Amino acid sequence: MTVLLLSVLILLEAGFMIFELTRKSSKKEWTTKRIILNAAEIIVFFAMVLLPGIDTGFRFAGLIFMLVLRTVVSGIYWLAFRKSTKTKKKAAIVFGGLFGALLIASSALPAFLFTDYAGRPLTGPYKVLEADAILIDRSRVEEFENDGSYREVPVYFFYPDGATEKMPLVIFSHGAFGYYQSNASMFMELASNGYVVASIEHPYHSIFTHDSTGKTIIADSGFLNDSMTIGSSDASEAEVFEVTTKWMELRTADMNFAIDSFKAKNTDSWYIENDQKDGVLQAVSLIDTDRIGLIGHSMGGATAVTCGRRDDISAVVDLDGTMLGENLGINGNDIIINEEPYKTPLLNLQSQSHHEQAVEAEKIGYAYSNNIVIKNADTAYSTYFANSGHMDFTDLPLFSPVLAKNLGTGDVDNTVMIDTLNGLVLRFFDCYLKGDGNFSVNEHY
């Protein structure tokens, strides 16, 4: 239906342009008809809202704004030329028609890039509330700035509405160029089933976030360049290790600081907007600091695994992440991997390609961190999703199939996969954070 809407609006623009080229209208006459056309386009849009796939949400907000703004501008233009008898030039008519079509197409772009995804149905008894704060680590100076400011870690809470008893805490770390809502359906599912979820952001590694001054922070260009460099086939093991070690030091420091902050519950040292204070205090009051689980996607999974070696962590989930933080050094061309027993229960969920790489590494005797950590773990589960890609472990394919495809997806049914994934994570944390039931996984899903 979006294509139909776009086609109708562009045809109106083209029809108006062709009609006016056959006539000799004054500027006043042309502007009057332009206002009528713009109003007609607004009517067409709202009439088509009755059809499925078209709404007044964010996907079409830009188009609505543009149609209304053009009508207002046309009205102002009419006031300026209401007494003009000069003939409207054909070149201006053509330009106006082409520019109008371009405006409509560009304004409608979000409708093609995004869906009206509003999350997945929740299985738990609780409604879910949200609140956010910024943790300020006064022991670290922000390395991406030169103003002496401290490192800040934004945190977003998802917590059960109306809960009174203490509940386990699950902390999430996003992937490279990720976003705190990358797995919002999972956070909502966990919170609806009696968990407090804290999704932290890693400024300058996330696609965008904000600091305590309200400044928007986008991903660092150096981080982007390093990502492209180590992604090339020419990068040596030593180069990859040097770069990824720096990344992991930053991220694990963020995660460790967040864990310590949540355990201390000293919210007076946090930056909290006034309208968020009640929510943050309520979420923090529900946290049982003796039951903490970590989870992350991609590099966030690596962060969770490394920080999961802490004695105060009870369970860890890695969503398709290479456990980079377990790489301790380089000996010639060989990676030195941490072989100390991994004592925290671990769930390793992989895409098909990641699984195949792990199998091949085992076959040829290549030291691969995931294989070694799992082999040396007291309790570890590993499975994969057939035909899945890296971004299928997030909500992005459901929210924006086009963007997700360009970033790496497989051929799975994303609705089925995300529900299965969220269900596995819930059962795992139920077992190891709540002591509820036993846990097992299939060889693959």
pTM: 0.88
Residue 109 has pLDDT above 90, yes or no: no
pLDDT in tens, 325-381: 999 999 877 889 999 999 999 999 999 999 999 999 999 989 999 999 999 999 999
pLDDT in tens, 365-401: 899 999 999 999 999 999 999 999 999 999 999 999 9
pLDDT in tens, 268-290: 999 999 999 999 999 999 999 99
Say how many Å lie between the first and final Cα of the chain, rounded: 34
